[in-house]
Each structure stands twice: as structure tokens, then as C-alpha cells.
Amino acid sequence: MRVLGVDPGLTRCGLGVVDGGSGRTVRFVDVGVVRTPAELDLARRLLLVADGVEEWLDRHRPQVVAIERVFSQNNVSTVIGTAQAAGVVALAAARRGLPVHFHTPSEMKTAVTGSGRADKAQVTAMVTRVLGLAEPPRPADAADALGLAICHLWRAPMQSRLSEAKARAAELARAHQTRLRTAARTGTGKLRAATATGLGPASGSSLAEREQNRKGTTR
């Protein structure tokens, strides 16, 4: 499976492509950054991000796109810009019918380093080691993009199994509810039939009363 990892941003949008093999085998394909000048207006900057991502999608033909999920920061303007860039990337992938998955920074760090609190230097060091790179990818946005691609490759089998287990559990629950409703309808139908033929509790009580009244009349 080939994954394009994206660390979204307006100033720097990190892009990294990794191929996954059997088990936890991963192979480096490419890494880079799309940059946009801060003096440009927002629409123009988003267009540059979109063009850059489109070029990478055409060049590398990934099967999945993994994007870092935006989380709250102190700088609101940075969060908004990052979210807008992530939306542009997701849209570009959706136009090609590619599945898009979002991973939080802590999920990526845990997958790559074993700690959700790892800093950027630790992520870069582990990405370099895992992919067997001759030198660390720069800037950190590029390393994070590769980390996201690795994270998805390593988490995808587990997520697939969890999804299958949830679907199976939901199917069993629906089947159980159907059996309960069927049993309830069947039980109600049998009770009505028994009552109509004089075998139910209500009809039995009425027959007993009629028999007692008959005997009293005879006497």
C-alpha cells in the first residue's frame, strides 16, 4: 500500500510518501514541502497548496492519504490556517476517489516513537531510522508527513480489525433483536389463538364459571 502523509499548513505543508510491505516493513519513496509566501492573500495561498498536493498525487499515485488532524492551539489563526490547508488536501484526494484518514499528532508520535509526548526531534530521529534514510528529512514538517504515512501503515490493520469486529457485533445485535421481536410476536399469537379456542386463561375462567352456573341451575 502506498500512503501520502500530509502535515498541513499554509506556510509549510509537509508531504511524504511511503510504501508498506508485509508486517511493519516500510519503504521511503519521497518527501518534500509545499511553501506559500505569507504576503499572499489566503485564497492564493490555498491555491498553491492545492496545486502542490495535486502534483504529488499525480506523480506518486498513492492509494491512501493520511492527514494530521487539527487540534486546538493557543494561536487561533494558526489553527484556522492549518484546518483550511487540511481541507484543501482532503478535497484533492476526494476528487480522485482516494480514502482519507486523519491521525492526531499523539497517535502519530505513539506509532513512530512509542510515546505520544515525543518532541519533533525524536520523531525526526525515529522516522530517519525506520526508513533507513542517509540524513534526517528537513524541515520538521517533512518528517511529520513521513511519520503520518508510517503511522497509517502500522495502524491500518488494527483499525480494519476493529471495524470488522464492530460491524460483526452490530450484526449480531440486530439478529438478536430480530429474534426477540419474532419470539414476542409468536408468543402473542399463540396466546390469542388459545384464548379464541377456549384454552387460554381468560377463556378457561369463563368456562369454569359457566359450568358452575349450569350445575347450580340443575340442582
pLDDT of residue 171: 83
Asked if 153 and 1 count as a contact pair (C-beta separation under 8 A), the reply is yes
pLDDT of residue 148: 98
Q: Is 7 a catalytic residue?
A: yes
CA gap 200, 173 in Å, rounded: 33
Q: Is 55 a catalytic residue?
A: no
Helix (H) or strand (E) run with residue 42 in it: helix 42-60
Asked if 62 and 51 count as a contact pair (C-beta separation under 8 A), the reply is no
- Whole-structure pTM value: 0.74
pLDDT higher than 90, residue 214: no
Over residues 123-151, the mean pLDDT reads 97
Spot the catalytic one: 68, 107, 119, 209: 68
pLDDT over 90, % of the chain: 64
Q: Is 41 a catalytic residue?
A: no
CA gap 182, 100 in Å, rounded: 41
